[in-house]
Amino acid sequence: MSEPVIRVENLRKSYGTVAALRGVSFEVQAGEVFGLLGPNGAGKTSTIEILEGLRTPDAGVATVAGLDPQTAGLEFKQEVGAVLQSTSLPDKLRVSEALALFTGFYRRRADPELLLRRFQLEEKRQAFYSQLSGGQKQRLALALALVNNPTVLFLDEPTAGLDPQVRREIYDIIEELKQEKKTILLTTHYIEEAERLCDRVAIVDSGKIIAQGTPRELKHRSAGTTRIEVRLAKQVSDGILNGLEGVSDSREFEGVYVLHSTRPPQTIVALVKLLEAENNELQSLEMFSPSLEDVFLELTGRRLRE
């Protein structure tokens, strides 16, 4: 295998007494979309900001395109593009002016007209930044990240706060970049985003990587189980659902009981019998195939987006 484009070894970072990163290690190969998946506060943004050269690690090694983000200076900036968690431009800056400005920062330059067309901003070329919708601002941020045709593209929560339709539009753009074999590191707390876009995923929690692999490999941890989520009219005793036939694990989250079962039909029959015996009622029941949510739940005992 060739030298990785991104290499992270035992990365550590603390803010006062809070340890944000506690020995994070992973590699990203050329042309790969690699995702850091975890809840808010897990350490995803600290990791990506160190790789972007925006933060200095306390310890560990981080290289991007063979360069040290902390010491490579202008040479490093020529090789990377980034969409930060929050992008803000002057309100009276026009879309075409923003592209012209950013293009001037680099030796290797994409055609601004092609970027306007690609990101469906042609009709907005003369619009002020303040006049753009949230989705248009995010498309502009992606266009600005690509003005130098970067070797590596960093996307920090690229669809956070966007409505579902705009989120799907951004997914389509990232999938196009994926087809072009662009090396991308993205952070997300959306399960569907990681499963749809990423070749490999590292699940991050409390500053550590707790699992790593392809979405298929990670979901294989829950192979043979089905997630059953139920709402009941009355609470049940702690642990009583663990005794149902086929149940390997059960937990309660804000009134929803989450069961993992190897034999869903038998589990449901046993659940109905239990509720009848306890004079309880089933208000709702949903069944799900294994997902990265289940992997996180099994490893941490918590839901990814609590």
> Are residues 229 and 212 part of one domain?
no
For 85-122, the pLDDT digits (tens) are: 888 899 999 999 999 999 999 999 999 999 999 999 99
> Are residues 33 and 171 part of one domain?
yes
- Per-residue burial over 143-154, b if 16 or more Cβ lie within 10 Å, else e, is bbbbbbebbbbb
Residue 119, burial from CB neighbour count under 10 angstroms (0-12, 13-18, 19+): buried
Domain annotation covers residue 250: yes
Contact 22, 204 (CB under 8 A): no
* pLDDT the model gives residue 306: 53
Query: Residue 276 sits in a domain of what CATH number?
Result: 3.30.70.980
> Are residues 37 and 174 part of one domain?
yes
Tokens of 30: 């050329």
* pLDDT the model gives residue 221: 79
> Are residues 106 and 241 part of one domain?
no
Q: Which residues in the chain land under pLDDT 70?
A: 1, 305-306
Residue 209, burial from CB neighbour count under 10 angstroms (0-12, 13-18, 19+): buried
C-alpha span between 135 and 126 (Å, rounded): 17
**pTM for this predicted structure:** 0.87
Based on the structure, what is the number of domains in the chain?
A: 2
* pLDDT the model gives residue 305: 66
> Are residues 285 and 208 part of one domain?
no
Pairing of strands 33-37, 183-188: parallel
Query: Residue 124 sits in a domain of what CATH number?
Result: 3.40.50.300
> Are residues 157 and 125 part of one domain?
yes
Range of the domain at 181: 6-218
Domain annotation covers residue 280: yes
Domain annotation covers residue 170: yes
